[in-house]
């Protein structure tokens, strides 16, 4: 390829605080328009912002988890522009001296070496409200402003232009998504906009040092769209240059229906935001004690936990990665291991039956109807030989459906495994008598028919016969 | 004695002794307002019904034995303070029908103590002005000479005290907006230390400079009002959580042994001769009372006005962005699209001085100019603050004129913004430094116009300047003169 793409991402992370960043209003999603507002988030004259400390704590956590340094004295700034969803005519954000700076994330693509992606900064800011077009609550047609979302806390995570392909961009984005959801500071819902991304894309000739002119792509709200949008934009820029044109600095909007990007505003039309320190807020001073306290309170992060699963629990790397996909999954796994002991067995069941159940029902692990302790109880029944692995799957389905304990289900449905040699011998004798032809075949050297006998015995015992016992007895009887 | 001539402490004595009711006092003030308002124009809104109801409630409190110093006292406040359910205009057409859903903390504190609201006072539009001529509701006239300006931007607050339309008032001071009108109208005005009084619910002009303060007939009342409004407010991140001293308790401590600084940059060639003479006499009075004078220097004074007009305008350009016609305030009747609605609403709603400052501020913050203007102004501000810190290493307070001349004629400077801006030369540095200053009557011109002096205190040194002001007041009779109206 003649061209080298250069990509940087700006990610907006909506924080899971109960109240807004500069007032006490609730951040709950989906309430009646303008019902969750007060003088501060309505931008009424005379109203003043007061910083929500929880937002600062979340920002510090995000910074520490992405290897940032925490700015000892960070400043809030006003970003000035007019829009009806922006009640004060400015957004309170951070410009110079954001709360977190100079971090990184290491990403790994399959078959490639570990790559470090720089994080320029993470800053805190308030969200805007939203415009509603069409029929409004009063019954009239028109455009309305709903300010419930105004003043909702956001973090903006800005990467260095270190990403070189759409795959790298998506990998970085997924890792960031995993971290913020893992920390419990964001619900990660991309469709509802809790985690949204703008991509800065440029291309330059391979081997060049100076980056090409970049376009900023807005409105890419799924991992799939990020990949599509970046790939489309890279190709658009290459085609443009190949045709003798030049890329202009502009903001472009991604249209998920067409898979294309289109120009939104040029550099000339770009806002002059006239950033300046917000005189209504004092500088935010974060001492080393605060940072250390946050560091101590930080949960074990996905990478660390993955390593521990491999080293301490002896999981294969693949299993460890799958089981740390989310903090909830890893917690579930560890609770299961704590109750049962066999990490590999617990892991297999989670990656198998549990994952299938969750996917089929569109559930997250936190909503799994089978608890880790119940799963452990089920595995214990297998260990004890009370039920076979096959019956266990039937029991599991019933546990999922009814929430009953495995012991109860086994007892109620009479699923206890039959290991009594007498009972099994009786069944075998009956089947051998009824299938004299196959017995002769086996004895004549056609050992494949052994499977036929196992199947028949299991069928006759309604699956309850202990397969190991069946094997032993059948072998000795057939060999006569 | 006329009820409307009383001070807070005099009226409080009568209310407590039950020789007078709050309803009687309030009625007397409302009658006075009606009588003199056509000549003065101090009020934008008179709240007679609200006032009489509050007065009746205060009388019940007093009858029940609860007679706080402010219970039943009829006050008026600048129309920059939000008052729940009562129109608040900030002197602007853009807010001419704005009825706020909440009240400013400072007014709320007075109201909780039983104060009675007579109405909302006239002011320069968005507190931008030094003469009250920029009000969208017409100018306020100086009660000592109705052809002259009362000062601004708290011109209504000063004129209402001087014309005895209210016992005391509240104003705001961003560059001298309490002290300069107090000086021109012969009343006492205090600009507290930045952070001492909550700004919550006060319509912002320049957030890093705005402060709330009282205007009163004498220093005793000023100390009482100050004690009532001062204090930390969790709703204002810039308010300071430090205990409020009992300002009244130390009033009589005298000035013996106090060191008073005379900053040489404030006693300049252009100073009006009568103002100079008044200052000289005040210095003499203080010497007699046992104070010591020290020459000090505030070397960056000459840059203060330019610095102020960059910082204040920059902040104002942002603070006033919320007046866009979308959620409240004036919206142009016919507009073609969003941009046209913004443009028309703001063009119609704002007056020319406000537009001028929005333009200056927008320019100063613009990309490419920010460092040369806003950042440099902030650096000079630091130098000015340092001037004050150095000077206060040697003195307890400073004495200066408030304004270079007595009140000027209406229209005299209206067409010359630069000349108008210079009328705040002696008051602006105090706001930039964030410290406190008191303006109090110190004499009169030959034509009978009041001349005030300024006592500048250390940060949170309100008690010291009030005590020095009280000592001066006890030794002179200037504060007892009344405008003949």
Rounded-to-integer distance, Cα A125 and Cα A398, Å = 48
Is B409 in the active site? no
Dihedral sign from CA coordinates of B158, B159, B163, B168:
negative
pLDDT tens per residue, range B427-458: 999 999 999 999 999 999 999 999 999 999 99
Contact A342, A333 (CB under 8 A): no
| Torsion, Cα of A367, A368, A371, A377 (10° steps) | 180
Q: Which residues of A331-342 are buried (b: 16+ CB within 10 A; e: fewer)?
A: ebbbbbbebbeb
Residue A438: the pLDDT is 87
Map tokens 């009806």 to a residue: A84
Q: Is A343 on the interface with B (CB under 8 A)?
A: no
Other CB atoms within 10 A of residue B190 CB: 35
3.30.70.960, 3.40.50.300, 3.90.1300.10, 3.40.640.10: CATH of B3-252 = 3.90.1300.10
Rounded-to-integer distance, Cα B148 and Cα B131, Å = 9
Q: Is A96 on the interface with B (CB under 8 A)?
A: no
Across the range A288-294, mean pLDDT stands at 97
| List B134, B153, B154, B317, catalytic entry | B153
Q: Is A42 on the interface with B (CB under 8 A)?
A: yes
CA distance B116 to chain A (A): 22
Residue B110, SS3 per DSSP? helix
- Ranking A14-28, A374-388, B190-204, B240-254 by mean pLDDT, the lowest is A374-388
pLDDT band for position B244 (cuts 50, 70, 90): very high
**Is B322 close to A48, i.e. CB distance below 8 A?**
no
Give yes or no for residue B172 having a pLDDT over 80: yes
Residue B353: the pLDDT is 96
- Per cent of chain B over pLDDT 90 is 96
**Is B365 close to A274, i.e. CB distance below 8 A?**
yes
Residue A141: the pLDDT is 84
Across the interface, of A82, A279, A281, the residue whose CB is closest to B324 is A82
The tokens for B324 are: 């866009």
Residue A107: the pLDDT is 94
Residue A305: the pLDDT is 94
Contact A325, A319 (CB under 8 A): no
Give yes or no for residue B273 having a pLDDT over 70: yes
Rounded-to-integer distance, Cα B467 and Cα B252, Å = 6
Give B-chain residues touching A46 at CB under 8 angstroms: 81-82, 100, 104, 199-204
Contact A284, A74 (CB under 8 A): yes
Nearest CA in chain A to B373: A276
Is B264 in the active site? no
Cα radius of gyration rounded to whole Å, chain B: 21
Cis status, amide bond into B153, omega within 30 of 0: yes
pLDDT tens per residue, range A448-473: 888 898 888 888 888 888 888 888 88
CA distance B339 to chain A (A): 9
Q: How much is the mean pLDDT over chain B?
A: 97
**Is A280 close to B98, i.e. CB distance below 8 A?**
no
Nearest C-alpha neighbor of B80 from the set B175, B157, B166:
B157
pLDDT tens per residue, range A298-345: 999 998 999 999 999 999 999 999 999 989 999 999 999 999 989 999
Contact B438, B455 (CB under 8 A): yes
Residue A17: the pLDDT is 97
Q: How much is the mean pLDDT over chain A?
A: 93
Backbone φ and ψ for A215, nearest 5 degrees, come out as -115, 145
Contact A101, A121 (CB under 8 A): yes
Residue A72: the pLDDT is 98
- For an interface test with A, the pick among B365, B379, B432 (most A C-beta atoms closer than 10 Å) comes out as B365
pLDDT tens per residue, range B338-365: 999 999 999 999 999 999 999 999 999 9
ipTM over the 0.90 cut-off: yes
pLDDT band for position A1 (cuts 50, 70, 90): low
Nearest CA in chain B to A276: B365
DSSP H helices in A92-182: 166-182
pLDDT band for position B235 (cuts 50, 70, 90): very high
Map tokens 């509701």 to a residue: B137
Q: Is A311 on the interface with B (CB under 8 A)?
A: no
Contact A112, A147 (CB under 8 A): no
Q: Which of residues 233-252 of B touch A (CB under 8 A)?
A: 234-238
Cα radius of gyration rounded to whole Å, chain A: 30
**Is B322 close to A46, i.e. CB distance below 8 A?**
no
Q: Is A90 on the interface with B (CB under 8 A)?
A: yes
Residue B310: the pLDDT is 97
Q: Is A272 on the interface with B (CB under 8 A)?
A: yes
Parts of chain A belonging to CATH 1.10.10.410: 421-478
Give yes or no for residue B333 having a pLDDT over 60: yes
Residue A337 vs residues A43, A344, A350, A371: alpha-carbon distances, Å: 52, 9, 11, 12
Q: What is the CATH number of domain A421-478?
A: 1.10.10.410
Q: Which of residues 289-318 of B touch A (CB under 8 A)?
A: 314-315, 317-318
What does chain B come to in residues? 485
- Per cent of chain B over pLDDT 70 is 100
The tokens for B160 are: 């209402």
Across the interface, of B100, B202, B237, the residue whose CB is closest to A50 is B237
Residue B454, SS3 per DSSP? strand
Across the range B454-477, mean pLDDT stands at 98
pLDDT tens per residue, range B410-423: 999 888 887 777 78
The tokens for B3 are: 């009820």
DSSP B113: T
- Ranking A108-112, A183-187, B104-108, B225-229 by mean pLDDT, the lowest is A108-112
Across the range B122-132, mean pLDDT stands at 97
Rounded-to-integer distance, Cα A65 and Cα A70, Å = 11
- Ranking A128-137, A360-369, B60-69, B216-225 by mean pLDDT, the lowest is A128-137
Rounded-to-integer distance, Cα A293 and Cα A287, Å = 10
Across the interface, of A49, A50, A279, the residue whose CB is closest to B315 is A279
- For an interface test with A, the pick among B103, B324, B340 (most A C-beta atoms closer than 10 Å) comes out as B324
pLDDT tens per residue, range A35-55: 999 999 999 999 999 999 999
Give yes or no for residue A422 having a pLDDT over 70: yes
| List B103, B106, B177, B439, catalytic entry | B177
Other CB atoms within 10 A of residue B252 CB: 11
DSSP B62: H
Residue A266: the pLDDT is 81
DSSP A106-163: EE--TTS--EEEEEEEEEEEE---EEEEEE-TTS-EEEEEE-SSTT-EEEEEEE-S-B
- Ranking A209-218, A410-419, B117-126, B423-432 by mean pLDDT, the lowest is A410-419
Rounded-to-integer distance, Cα A202 and Cα B99, Å = 51
- For an interface test with B, the pick among A45, A81, A90, A277 (most B C-beta atoms closer than 10 Å) comes out as A45
Residue A412: the pLDDT is 85
Is B153 in the active site? yes
Across the range A116-143, mean pLDDT stands at 91
Nearest C-alpha neighbor of B151 from the set B456, B482, B428, B423:
B423
Parse chain B into domains and list their residue ranges. Answer: 3-252
The tokens for A470 are: 């069946």
pLDDT tens per residue, range A165-206: 999 999 999 999 999 999 999 999 998 899 999 999 999 999
pTM recorded for the entire structure: 0.91
Across the range A154-172, mean pLDDT stands at 97
- Sorted by sequence, the CB contacts under 8 Å of residue B251 that are 6+ apart come out as B219, B220, B223, B466, B467, B470
Across the range B197-218, mean pLDDT stands at 98
pLDDT band for position B399 (cuts 50, 70, 90): very high
Other CB atoms within 10 A of residue B258 CB: 20
Give yes or no for residue A68 having a pLDDT over 70: yes
């Amino acid at each position: 390829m003649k061209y080298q793409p250069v990509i940087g991402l700006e990610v907006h992370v909506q924080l899971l605080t109960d109240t807004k960043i500069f007032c006490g209003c609730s951040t709950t999603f989906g309430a009646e328009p303008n019902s969750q507002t007060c003088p501060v988030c309505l931008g009424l004259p005379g109203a003043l912002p007061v910083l929500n400390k929880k937002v600062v704590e979340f920002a510090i956590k995000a910074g520490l988890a992405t290897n940032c340094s925490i700015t000892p004295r960070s400043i809030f700034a006003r970003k000035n522009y007019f829009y009806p969803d922006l009640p004060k005519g400015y957004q309170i954000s951070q410009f110079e001296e954001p709360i977190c700076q100079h971090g990184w994330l290491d990403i790994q693509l399959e078959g490639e070496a570990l790559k470090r992606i720089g994080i320029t900064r993470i800053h805190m800011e308030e969200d805007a409200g939203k415009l509603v077009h069409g029929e409004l609550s009063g019954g009239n047609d028109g455009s309305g402003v709903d300010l419930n979302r105004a003043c909702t806390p956001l973090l903006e995570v800005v990467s260095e232009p270190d990403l070189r392909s759409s795959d790298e961009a998506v990998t970085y984005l997924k890792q960031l998504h995993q971290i913020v959801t893992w920390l419990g500071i964001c619900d990660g819902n991309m469709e509802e906009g809790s985690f949204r991304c703008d991509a800065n894309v440029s291309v330059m000739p391979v081997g060049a040092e100076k980056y090409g002119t970049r376009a900023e792509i807005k409105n890419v709200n799924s991992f799939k769209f990020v990949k599509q949008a970046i790939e489309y934009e890279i190709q658009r820029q290459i085609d443009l240059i190949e045709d003798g044109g030049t890329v202009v600095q502009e903001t472009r909007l991604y249209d998920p229906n067409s898979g294309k990007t289109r120009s939104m505003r040029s550099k000339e039309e770009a806002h002059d935001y006239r950033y300046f320190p917000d005189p209504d807020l004092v500088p935010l001073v974060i001492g080393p004690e605060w940072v250390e306290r946050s560091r101590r309170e930080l949960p074990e992060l996905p990478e660390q936990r993955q390593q521990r699963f491999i080293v301490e629990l002896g999981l294969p790397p693949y299993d460890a990665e799958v089981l740390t996909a989310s903090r909830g999954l890893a917690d579930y796994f560890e609770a299961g291991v704590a109750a049962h002991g066999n990490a590999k067995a617990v892991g297999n069941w989670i990656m198998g039956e549990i994952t299938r159940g969750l996917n089929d029902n569109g559930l997250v692990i936190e909503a799994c109807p089978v608890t880790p302790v119940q799963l452990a109880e089920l595995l214990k029944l297998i260990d004890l030989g009370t039920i076979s692995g096959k019956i266990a799957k039937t029991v599991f389905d019933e546990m999922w459906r009814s929430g009953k304990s495995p012991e109860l289900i086994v007892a109620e449905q009479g699923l206890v495994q039959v290991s009594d040699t007498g009972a099994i011998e009786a069944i075998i004798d009956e089947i051998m008598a009824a299938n004299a032809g196959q017995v002769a075949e086996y004895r004549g050297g056609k050992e494949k028919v052994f499977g036929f006998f196992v199947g028949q015995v299991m069928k006759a015992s309604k699956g309850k016969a202990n397969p190991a016992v069946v094997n032993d007895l059948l072998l000795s009887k057939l060999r006569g | 004695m006329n009820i409307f001539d009383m001070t807070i402490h005099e009226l409080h004595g009568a209310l407590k002794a039950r020789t007078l009711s709050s309803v009687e006092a309030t009625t007397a003030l409302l009658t006075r307002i009606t009588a003199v308002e056509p000549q003065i124009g101090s009020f934008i809104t008179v709240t007679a019904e609200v006032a009489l109801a509050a007065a009746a409630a205060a009388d019940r409190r007093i009858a029940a034995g609860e007679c706080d110093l402010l219970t039943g006292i009829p006050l008026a406040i600048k129309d920059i303070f939000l008052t729940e359910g009562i129109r608040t205009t900030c002197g602007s057409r853009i807010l001419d029908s704005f009825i706020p859903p909440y009240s400013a903390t400072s007014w709320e504190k007075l109201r909780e103590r039983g104060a009675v609201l007579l109405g909302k006072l006239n002011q320069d539009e968005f507190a931008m002005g030094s003469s009250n001529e920029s009000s969208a509701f017409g100018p306020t006239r100086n009660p000592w000479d109705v052809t002259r300006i009362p000062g601004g931007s708290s011109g209504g607050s000063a004129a209402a005290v001087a014309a005895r339309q209210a016992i005391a008032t509240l104003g705001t001071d961003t560059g001298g907006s309490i002290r300069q009108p107090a000086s021109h109208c012969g009343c006492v005005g205090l600009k507290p230390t930045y952070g001492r009084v909550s700004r919550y619910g006060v319509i912002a002009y320049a957030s890093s400079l705005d402060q709330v303060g009282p205007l009163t007939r004498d220093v005793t009342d000023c100390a009482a009002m100050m004690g009532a409004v001062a204090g930390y407010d969790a709703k204002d991140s810039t308010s300071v959580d430090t205990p409020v001293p009992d300002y009244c308790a130390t009033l009589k401590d005298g000035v013996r042994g106090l060191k008073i600084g005379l900053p040489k940059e404030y006693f300049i060639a252009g100073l009006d001769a009568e103002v100079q003479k008044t200052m000289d006499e005040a210095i003499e009075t203080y010497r007699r009372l046992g104070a010591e004078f020290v020459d000090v220097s505030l070397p960056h004074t000459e840059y203060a006005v330019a610095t102020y007009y960059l910082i204040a305008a920059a902040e104002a350009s942002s603070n006033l962005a919320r007046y866009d016609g979308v959620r409240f305030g004036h919206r142009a009747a016919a507009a073609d699209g969003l941009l046209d609605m913004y443009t028309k609403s703001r063009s119609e709603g704002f007056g020319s001085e406000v537009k001028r400052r929005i333009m200056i501020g927008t320019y100063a913050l613009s990309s490419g100019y920010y460092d040369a203007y806003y950042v440099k102004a902030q650096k000079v501000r630091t130098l000015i603050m340092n001037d004050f810190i150095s000077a206060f290493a040697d003195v307890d307070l400073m004495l200066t004129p408030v304004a270079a001349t007595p009140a000027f004629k209406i229209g005299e400077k209206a067409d010359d913004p630069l000349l108008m801006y210079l009328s705040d030369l002696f008051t602006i540095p105090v706001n930039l430094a964030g410290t406190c200053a008191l303006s109090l009557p110190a004499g009169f011109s030959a034509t009978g116009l009041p001349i005030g002096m300024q006592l500048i205190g250390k940060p949170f040194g309100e008690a010291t300047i009030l005590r020095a002001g009280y000592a001066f007041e006890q030794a002179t009779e200037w504060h007892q003169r009344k405008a003949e109206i």
